[in-house]
Amino acid sequence: TPEPPVLRLLNVESAYGPIRAIRGVSLQVQRGEIATVLGSNGAGKTTILKTISGILDPRKGSVEFKGEDITARDPAEIVQRGLVHVPEGREVFPLLSVRDNLLMGAYTRRDRDAVARDLEMVYAYFPILRERAQQDAGLLSGGQQQMLAISRALMAEPELILLDEPSLGLSPKLTKEIFEIIVRINRERGTTILLVEQNANMALNAADYGYVLENGRIVMEDRCDRLREKEDIKEFYLGMK
């Protein structure tokens, strides 16, 4: 039997009171790939990630991780299984040092040597975090906090990372740097990544497979090299007309 996809959503509907934010979303992420969900402001991208990581319970549908149903499981249990969410706005602990923020990501792990090795690994990806290791995380710039949030997720040894708008609030130069490292993490560690973005250009360059979300529904999906060539995508998401 073939391996199940790392992540599978089937007809997921999530709402905030009367507001139906996602309306029957189905998608899959295969092991080792970078997948992306594109959509404008308010399309429902953040809601999809919250539903996957158990922060929000769906009204309908199911979420499977590695073939097992994790719908509406406790968020801590979902992290424990290897699925980690980097939320929009990063949410680092501002009064803890950079190093302690990183160690928080590994708090359930018992193998201290492996944790120490992973600390070295994230410092190799983001050398600025080693330089700032003893400083309070609240003193970092927005871009550095994004690096810290991604690194803290890596400290949990995830098989799947959910990234909410990694480019939010960053300069084009920093955005490019962050995306290069996201791709390196995927290639070098084999970590599967699902990222949601308004920056379609960056997302389509980095990802293998993409979904387009409008008003809580997936309206298009394809390999990213094909999506980039579609007229609607060029016009509405890449601003090429």
Q: Binding residues for ligand ATP, per CB under 6 A? A: 16, 19, 21, 39, 41-47, 88, 198
Closest separation in Å from C-beta 216 to ligand ATP: 7
Nearest to ligand ATP of 122, 227 (CB atom)? 227
Closest separation in Å from C-beta 23 to ligand ATP: 10
Closest separation in Å from C-beta 140 to ligand ATP: 22
Nearest to ligand ATP of 39, 143 (CB atom)? 39
Nearest to ligand ATP of 43, 98 (CB atom)? 43
Nearest to ligand ATP of 21, 154 (CB atom)? 21
Nearest to ligand ATP of 1, 41 (CB atom)? 41
Closest separation in Å from C-beta 39 to ligand ATP: 5
Closest separation in Å from C-beta 47 to ligand ATP: 3
Paired tokens of 214:
């409008």
Closest separation in Å from C-beta 71 to ligand ATP: 18
Nearest to ligand ATP of 205, 215 (CB atom)? 215
3 state SS for the chain: CCCCCCEEEEEEEEEECCEEEEEEEEEEECCCCEEEEECCCCCCHHHHHHHHCCCCCCCEEEEEECCEECCCCCHHHHHHCCEEEECCCCCCCCCCEHHHHHHHCCCCCCCHHHHHHHHHHHHHHCHHHHHCCCCEHHHCCHHHHHHHHHHHHHCCCCCEEEEECCCCCCCHHHHHHHHHHHHHHHHHHCCEEEEEECCHHHHHHHCCEEEEEECCEEEEEEEHHHHCCCHHHHHHCCCCC
CA angle, 21 then 218 then 176, to 5°:
95
